[in-house]
Structures are given as structure tokens and as C-alpha cells.
Structure 1
Amino acid sequence: MPVVAGVDTAVFTVPTDAPEADGTLSWDSTTLVLATVRSEDVTGLGYTYAPAATASIIADLLADVVTGLPALDVPRMNEAMHRAVRNAGLPGVAAQAIAAVDIALWDMKARMLGLPLVHLLGAARADVPVYGSGGFTTYDDDQQERQLRGWVETDGIPRVKIKIGESWGSCEERDRLRVAKARAVIGDATALYVDANGGYGAKQAVRVSRALTDEGVTWFEEPVSSDHLSTLAAIRDQVTLDVAAGEYGYTLPYFEHMLASRAVDCLQADITRCGGITVWLRVAALAQAHGLEISGHCAPHAHAHAAAAVPNLRHLEWFHDHVRIERLLFDGALAPDGGAVVPGADGAPGIGLTLNAERSQPYRVG
């Protein structure tokens, strides 16, 4: 039985192509922490979007834990990593560190077996629907229109999302205007989603939802902070749009609390935050047990194979920043065709990505 021989890390920071902000945060660069695991002559890669300090957690707390364990026993190693960070604190960067290593371990296992990961996990669907995501509050009308037309007209994606809740909900009128302009650009046949990133107050979110309904918006993501589940549930009871949240879930109990609170119509989970593929699949099963669908949050290439393996998938976020970064740093990136991607179609083993040393080197910071 082959064992894990070691774990390596690298950190890359990529500037945005324009100033970006959502309802509660602004940024001008994005950091990707890469984990590479080795066993005999096979390597696997995984990653998370997290601070550079995440690499230190991998090196200091996780690498020795998985080294020497059977390379095929990924759930065993995931459990060992969770136990190893008990005193460090699991939610946050520790969970993201575990996620990067877990994805790499699954990638390596599939490569050992010569299979695309979706075939190792077992496909539940032929393809993975995606939605175009970006529409930052910093965009002017022309930038927003170009991005929307790119998704709808060039990529053929029939569902798109923009950010609202600008400056913690203090620009409500501009939010409404941007939604109206987005609808005018994409037409009536394309689904329109919005994400407030927790920027609104409770009653403000209900008021705004009326204008959103008038524009045919069907997805209202984090109208208020997902930290306040009872408030989120109260808003869900008062609006006709689907309320979605869950991207900040780092542990399985977090998702159970969200579901038990009846706070969402569709559960979101981020494979690069919640502990990797091992835990994400459990989150999907938890959602299915509650009669709900799951949506993959960001990091589309980290999600794609696992997303194709769950029957209750709604879609995967084709997030502007991460699509751009993953195409830049890696070879083997997917492309949406008619609004969906098909992981494993080319037969490449694992998650189908390889680091491009030449393109990635200028962005390496650790």
C-alpha cells in the first residue's frame, strides 16, 4: 500500500484586473495557497483562497499528520487533520488548510488509479451547471455590461449574478438601478441573481426584495449576515426569492445549524473552506436529507468533479476572480458550454489541473 511521502506548499498572489468590492469588503488582489502531496512517483494538488499564513498551518500542523499514512485512505487523513487543529481552532484558516490538503489527496488518489476524480467518486449527473458571478459594486455601467454580455452572449451561460448591498447597504438606490440595468442587458430569458454579502439590515432586505422581484431576480444571497440564522430565516419567510447562504461554513455542524434553522432555500458550501472534498460531499448529503439542493461557492475547478457526483446539485459559481486565476496558474481549465462544464471529459486523471510553472512564477510570493 503506497503511503503519503510528503506535503509541499506554495503561495500565489494575483492582482485583480480592476478595483473590486461587494457589499461589505473591497480588495485589489487574491491569494491562492497551493498544497502538493507526494506518494512514490505520483503527486496531487489542491488549493484554497486564503491568507498566506495558511501555508504555515499546512507545514506546521498538517504535513506530519498525513505523511506516512496510506495514500488511498483520504477520509482517514481528513479526520486526522481535523483532530490535529483542535487547539489551534478549526473554523477559518485551519479549515481552509485542511481543505487544500484534502483536495490534493483526492487528486493524488484519482491519479494513482488513472481516473478523472468524477469517475472515482461516481458521477450523479452528466454535467455541472454554472452561473456567471462578479458584477462588483465598483464596476461602472460599461464594465458591468461587458461582463454580463461576456457570460451570456460569449459563454452561453443562462444565469448570472451581481453584487449589491454596496457600502453596508447605504447605497440602496444605486443597488436598484444596477439590478435594473443588468436586467436590461441580459434580457428576460436569463436568470438574474444578486448577492448582498450580508450588507443589509433585516427590514431593509425585505424592502429591497420587492424591487428585486419586480426585476425577476430569483436568488437573494446573504441578504443579511449568515451569522444571524434566525434573522435570515425570518427574511426567507417574507420574500418570494430563493434565499441562499453557507459560503462561510467551516464545519459540518455549522451547516446542520443553518438547515435546522430553515434559513435557506439553497445551501451554499465552499469546498476550499469547509474541509475539502471529504466534508463537502457530507454537506451535500446533509442538504439532501433536508430536501434542499446545494450550490458550490467559487473555486470552480476545485468543485467541479465533486459537484458532478451529487444528485442534489443546483449549480456552481463561475466566479470572475477565480476563473481568471485558475486559468492563469493551471493548465487543464474547463470552459462552460451552454451554461455547464463537464469535468473529466478529456480523460485527464484527478481534478485535471497541473500547475503551469512559467505562468505562475511571477505571482509566487511564498
Structure 2
Amino acid sequence: MKITEVKTQWVRIPLERPVGFSIKTLKYREYLLVRVRSDEGIEGVGFCLQDTSARPAKAVVDELLAPMLIGEDPRDIAKLWDKMYFQTVRAGRRGNVLVAISAIDIALWDHQAKLAGMPLHKLLGSYRDEVPCYASGGYYYEGKEVYSKLEEEIQGYMDQGYKAVKIKVGRLSAKEEEKRVELTRNLIGPDVKLMIDANQSYLDVNECLELCRRIERYDIMFFEEPLPMDMIEGFNRLSKQTSIPLATGEVGATRWEFQELIRHGALNYLQPDATQCGGVSEFMKISVLAGAQGVTITPHYFWDIHVHLACASREVAFVEKFVGTDVTNFDHIMKNPYQLSSQGTLVAPKIAGLGIEWNEEAIQKYLMEENIVSEQINVAN
């Protein structure tokens, strides 16, 4: 069996209105789609998100990685991961290179599961068929009153049956953020879990501690990205001075970086993103490392892939889920977006592969430039 084609598509989907978190305001989302086709006629699909531009990651696939894959056996996923990673280490072990590798790795696993005729989580060795998820939101909207919009949003999550919610912090003063946290806790009651996310906005541990001390009494499940992920000693200092469990990892790269995060012992939760950390292959390795040290996994974003990985990993406690398309609009290019169950969980698809069906007409609508296809029509058997 041989890989005959690697196709990339770069799409930009405008948001319905600008939406902000602690360090920036977004007006659109960009996604890179990767399709890997074999001479068996099977197409595996992968993808990733870029908040700025997906062009660099697309160039990495088109110019560096796709030529390595043509003619290779798509079932040799571990071999191909090593080939892509170690032959591009001078180009970058993080960022766009690893994002591109991640998208391809996801596509190869989708191909593998389709070839096997089973859902991806079953192929990986299923631990369960559904996983709890939390409603991710609490962003800052331009021209909207900070507290009334948040109140309306949180009440909507409660009406839909969510058992856990996460809101943004870090853009306003500590006093104002405390008011938002208090409002949320009062709305959800004592039994619904509450997380907060600063998107690495605090560069000073003492400034972050001011917020922590104000909100510790609101029973925070975890504080996500209070500091830049590279500030490991900062996490150590913060963890010794607050009772709020700490989390990070959405921009983390590979098992080796996560191993260092675990080794320092400051984190209760790790948040790898399969579209950023190295794909399905690396995510599963990171889960094993975390499980060996009693660290909980709560994946970042893209429940479309993480529902499978969570169902195959005992270490995953929750999957992140966005409601509607105000903040993330990947659903606009899917025929079958995933829906929350009545129990506040996501149920893994029962069809082969990831279970993703693209809306090809929508993709063409948002396509940024001419498709590039790396292919080999006559591949020797």
C-alpha cells in the first residue's frame, strides 16, 4: 500500500463578530486541512487551527513534508512521524513545523481507522464510548457589557445541561475579574465545576497571585495558562502560594516538553492539543506519561479529534467544547458537527475513522488560495 496524494487546503472563516480574550481580539479563524490518499482509494483527513495565518503551516506540508510521504506505506505511522520530525529539526521543533506534522499524523490515523473499518477510539483501544465535556466561553466582546453578556452565556450553558464551564480572565483588573468569577459561580451553583483561563497573560507571579487570592473561595477546578508555558519556575512559585490547581499545555510540543512539565511537579492538569503537540501519536504518549505520575489530562480545543483520544485514555477527565460558532467556527465546514448528549457528555462516533464529513461547498467558499496537491499517479507496488 502506498501514499499517492497529499492535499492541503487553507481556509479563513470570519467570526460573526470580534471576540477577545486576555491578550488579543479575533475577527476570523484560519484552519489548515490535510488529506492523505492511498492507492487503496482511502482518504485520511487531518487539520489544525492558526489564529494568525495558516499559510506557513501549509507551506511546511507542501514543501517539506508531502515529498517525504509520497510512495510510503500509510500504515507505517510511527516510522513516518520520526521521518518528518527528525528530518526537519533544523526548521523547527515547535510551531508551524510541528503543527503541520500534527495535521498529517491525524490524517494518517484517520486513514488507518478507515482501513480497519472502525472508529479511531476503538482502533486505539477504547476505554469508554463517551467522555464528559465542559462549555468553554466567557470571552470578551466588543461593544458588549461585560457582565450581562457573561450572565446570558452562562445561563445558556446551564439550560443545555453542562456540568462544567470555563471562562476567560486576565484582560481586566483583578477586582473586575473577581466579579466575573463570582457571577459565574452564583449562576452555576456549587455542584457545577468552574475553570478559568488567562491565556498566558500574566508575566509577573505576584500580579497573578492577587487574582488567585481574590477567587480561591469560588472553588476553581483549575487555572489554565496563568503564565507563559515556558515560565516553568514561575509555575513552581505560583503553585506553592495558591490553593488553585494549575493547568497548561495547549501550545506544548511533543512528549519531551510535556515530560519536563510533569517533572517539575507544579501542574495538576496538562492540556495537550493533538493538532499542536505532534498529532495522535504524541498525544497518546503524553497521556501515558501523565498517567504514570497521576497528572490529569484535559485536552485543548478540537473535540472533533479529542473525543476519540479521550475515549481511548483513562487519564482524560474532560474534553473542551465550544457552543455555537461565536468563538470557534470549524463546524461551518463540517456536515456533521458533534453535539452534546443529554448527560453533558460527548459520544464518540460509531463510523470508521474520525467520523468527519467535510462540507465541500463551504470549504470552497472560505478557501484562501489555489489548492496544492503533491501526488504520484503511478506508484510502484
Q: Under TM normalisation by the shorter chain, which class is it?
A: over 0.9
Asked if the contact 1:145/1:185 (under 8 Å) is kept, the reply is yes
CA deviations over 1:294-321 (Å, ceiling 9, x no partner): 1110011021111211111111111355
Deviation at 1:182, TM superposition (A): 1.5
Flag as ranges the 4+ runs of structure 1 deviating above 3 A. Answer: 319-324
Listed as ranges, the matches of 1:243-262 within 5 Å are 243-262=246-265
Q: Does structure 1 conserve the Cα–Cα contact (< 8 Å) formed by 2:137 and 2:167?
A: yes
From 152, 155, 160, the equivalent of 1:149 is: 155
Question: Which residue of 1 is the match for residue 138 of structure 2?
Answer: 135
| Bigger shift: residues 135-144 or 71-80 | 135-144
| Alignment check: 8 A CA contact 1:299 1:319 kept | no
Among 307, 311, 325, which residue is 2:310 paired with? 307
Higher mean C-alpha deviation, range 196-205 or range 99-108 = 196-205
Partner of 1:297: 300
2:174–2:210: 8 Å Cα contact kept in structure 1?
Answer: no
Spell out the pairing of 1:12-31 with structure 2 (5 A cutoff): 12-31=11-30
Q: Paired residue for 1:47?
A: 47
Structure 2 residues without counterparts, runs of 5 or longer: 370-381
Q: What stretches of structure 1 of length at least 5 have no aligned partner?
A: none
- Within 1, Cα distance between the matches of 2:69 and 2:326? 28
**Letter of the aligned partner of 1:120 in structure 2?**
L
8 A Cα contact 2:14 2:27, kept in partner: yes
Cα root mean square deviation, aligned: 1.7
Checking the alignment, whether the CA contact within 8 Å between 1:300 and 1:323 is kept in structure 2 is: no
Distance in 1 between residues matched to 2:63 and 2:227, nearest whole Å: 36
Cross-structure match for 2:167: 162
Q: Which moved more, 1:208-217 or 1:323-332?
A: 323-332
8 Å contact 1:47–1:302 — kept in the other structure? Answer: no
Using the TM superposition, give the Cα deviation of residue 193 of structure 1 relative to its aligned residue in structure 2, in angstroms: 0.8
CA distance in structure 1 between the aligned counterparts of 2:76 and 2:153, rounded to whole angstroms: 42
Aligned sequence identity (%): 29
Per-residue CA shift, 1:78-129, capped at 9, x if unaligned?
Answer: 1111023122112101100001111011001111111111111111123111
Deviations 1:235-287 (A, max 9, x none): 11222221101111112211111111112111110111011000110011111
The residue type equivalent to 2:167 in the other structure is I
Of 195, 214, 219, which aligns to 2:217? 214
Shift of 1:325: 2.2
- TM-score normalised by the chain length of structure 1: 0.94
**Aligned AA (2:306):** H
Tell me the equivalent position of 1:334: 338
Instruction: Give the C-alpha shift of residue 332 in structure 1.
Output: 2.8
Give the Cα–Cα distance (whole angstroms) in 2 for the partners of residues 298 and 86 of structure 1.
Answer: 26
Amino acid at match of 1:302: I
CA contact (8 A) 1:164 1:196 kept: yes
Q: Alignment partner of 1:303: what SS?
A: helix
Q: CA deviation at 1:362?
A: 1.8
